[in-house]
Amino acid sequence: MKIPLPNKKLIILIILAFKCTIGYAGKVSKAFEALQAYNYFKAKDLFEKALNDESIAAHYGLSIIYSRNDNPFYNIDTAFVYIIKAENDIKTEKEKQKQSLYEDYQLNERTIDSLKQVIYQTAFNKIQQENSITAYEKYISFYQGSPLKDRAVELRNQRAYLSAMSQNSESAYKEFLQKYPDSKQAIEAKIKYEETLFHSITLSQTIESYAVFIKQYPQSPYEKEAEDSIYAKQTNKNTIAQFSQFLKQFPTNHHASEAWEKLYQLYTQNLKPENYIDFLLEYPEYPNKDRITRAYMAAKSNYFPAKQNDKWGYIYEDGSIAIPFQYEATEACTEGLCAVWKEGKAGFIKKDGEVIVDFIYNDVDAFNEGLAIVQLGDLYGLIDKLGQVILPFEYDEISSFHEGLCAVSKNDLYGYVNTKGEMVIPCKYDNAEDFSEGLAHIQLDEKTGYINTKGDTVIACKYDWGENFKNGLARVKKDDLFGLIDKTGKEIIPCEYNGIDAFNEGFALVVKDDKFGFIDTTGTLKVAIKYDYTASIQLKSGFIKGTARINKKDKAGLIRSNGKEILAPNYYDDMSVLSDSLIAFKRKGKWGYIDTLNKRIINYQYDYAGDFINGMAKVKKGEKAGIINKKNHPIIPFEFDDVEIISSNLIQLKKNQKIGFNTRDNQIILPIDFDKIEWIDKNSILLMRNEKIAYYSFEKSNFIWKEDGFYDTTN
């Protein structure tokens, strides 16, 4: 291919100048004349012969020949060699000779430089068309003084970088950086080198490959990404074992703090005091031992919700503040977590005050078996003790877990999920109840049947009603009659009774045609169906401590489980079962007490008579209640609206809708001055008065804590 000469006009002008100024027929003059006539062979021959005598002009002339692409001698590199020789020679020439050159040939440093610039440009155009690294490298090294050298360097670097990019390998980028460290592309090449190096070493994407990369290139910008990948892969199942192994193998990983937190939360998620001790024993290198101490102390302490200035918090059993008053509402702590409300949203905190579930839910239930039902918007889901969503918010109802499954409702259909949030039994039933003894009763097309925990139908949907199994038996209803089935669906008792009460002490009351008797768990009739079934019998049905009430012709009696009548139903209008060796009876509208030998212990004189408990019984005269002992001596006078025996020396009193407490000796413990009470445990009680609250300990006989403004009338 012929490469055009950009400054060809300049060369022609130079030749014309020679023709006009040369006045003798020397070799050089004749050579320029031949050159003007495009007789390149003759011109070349003459110039070469004049190299010794007139080297500057001869070199110059030869440079012109080799720089033109319209002759067979065209070679731009050779042209450059000759022009440089001409340039070097003229530099050492004396001024007189320089003057002579100019006068003879119009040749001086300027005309030589002009041709040199033409050669530079021509050579550059040539390599630019070739556009190869080799061509650019040659130009840069050969044409040292070219003003286009920097541009050639740029183009060479650009071409070399494109080549490296096409290979896109760490070796290609490394080679580029080694060869061209000062190039404009070096910064980007360095980035690409680090990237491809990282991906080449970690191509297998295994934990081992990332670890090797970090060891070999600890200063790499991809070191953090390698650590991220190690952490993600090592802990992908979110287990204690995984986090423990991660911390053992990679203690300096920037996720170490996060791993410690996850390990701590997983290990102690049961929130029991022993969990914290065990954690510290197993992981003595845990960096926050003070946290363990605080959590342990909190876990082993009992907390009571308390209110101050309309804000809720928690107090310890001794009344000191456990969690400051900062919440809109609080509930009792269960399984180590406390439900609290803030800005209208519910969340959970640990007993050390740490927020474990953010305040994002509309409502929450207490944790049960490590899970809590929570409401988000109008739908319900399940979360675990770490706040992770176990069951998404897609359900209209969620029941509590029983035997590892809970019933859920979606689009008016019911199914079951397990504790992992997996749908075990699809939502396809019209109703579904809790599992009991491996079976749950469900409803389809208004009929009840039973399924097992796999969703298999064990008892077909053919009953109008059914209940949970207890001790292998369940009551069912069909065509308004009741029967009894076992877990295989076998009818122990066909549906032929008007009613069957729940079993108690191994016996159940059965009703047929307004008469009742008792069956045992095999369905065998143990007490004949011959007694009158009345409303009072319904309220007092069943055996209690081996005796049951019977009724005949409006008279009450007692019977043992063997069918033997203790007291025949022929004298008393009503009676209760045996309690504390005495039996309450009713005669002529009044109540009294007899013993098992039918000996009258307390004559009938009361309008109500309760069971004896700890030698005391609640009785009423008119509308007023009191407490008597077995000698019929009043322990608590008849001046209260209601009384309740709490323990052997604690009586709850109610009067004018106020509540208080006395001893059995009628000594005041707490005056009748409280609007509402709530038992916290057997020894502690929450008292409410005028919307203020306080806690009182019966064991210590003093107030544990009182809200500001709670008026204590005991002082």
In tens, the pLDDT along 503-556 reads 999 999 999 999 999 999 999 999 999 999 987 776 666 898 889 999 999 999
Q: What is the pLDDT of residue 712?
A: 62
Cα 514 to Cα 74: distance, rounded to the nearest angstrom: 132
What letters, b where the CB count within 10 A reaches 16 and e where it falls short, cover 43-72? bbebbeebbeebbbbbbbbbbbbbbbbeee
Residue 19 pLDDT: 44
Q: Rounded to whole angstroms, how far apart are CA atoms 630 and 602? A: 8
Q: How many CA atoms lie within 13 A of 305 on its CB side?
A: 24
Q: Quick check: helix, strand or coil at residue 53?
A: coil
- Whether 671 and 662 have beta carbons less than 8 Å apart is answered as no
Positive or negative CA dihedral for 547, 552, 554, 555? negative
User: 3-state DSSP call for residue 245?
Assistant: helix
Helix boundaries (H) for 472-590: 535-539
pLDDT of res. 430: 97
Integer Cα distance of 196 and 173 in angstroms: 9
| Cβ neighbours for 281, distance < 8 A, ≥ 6 positions apart | none
Per the CB < 8 A criterion, the answer to whether 36 and 22 are in contact is no
Question: What was the pLDDT predicted at 713?
Answer: 59
Which residues have C-beta within 8 Å of that of residue 447, sequence separation ≥ 6? 461, 462, 463, 464
Tell me the C-alpha distance between 699 and 9, whole Å. 120
Phi, psi of 83 (to 5 degrees): -70, -35
**Phi and psi dihedrals of 85, rounded to 5?**
-65, -45
What letter represents residue 218's amino acid? Answer: P
- Give the residue among 418, 350, 414, 421 at the shortest CA–CA distance from 381: 421
Write out residues in the chain with pLDDT < 70, as ranges: 1-25, 538-541, 712-715
Calpha distance 252→55 (Å, rounded): 75
Please give the span between the terminal C-alpha atoms of the chain, in angstroms, as a whole number: 118
Rounded Cα distance between 442 and 462, Å, is: 11
pLDDT digits (tens, 9 = 90+) for 576-611: 988 999 999 999 999 999 998 999 999 999 999 999
| Euclidean distance between CA atoms 76 and 82, whole angstroms | 10
Residues 264-312 have pLDDT tens digits of 999 999 899 999 999 999 999 999 999 999 999 999 998 999 999 999 9
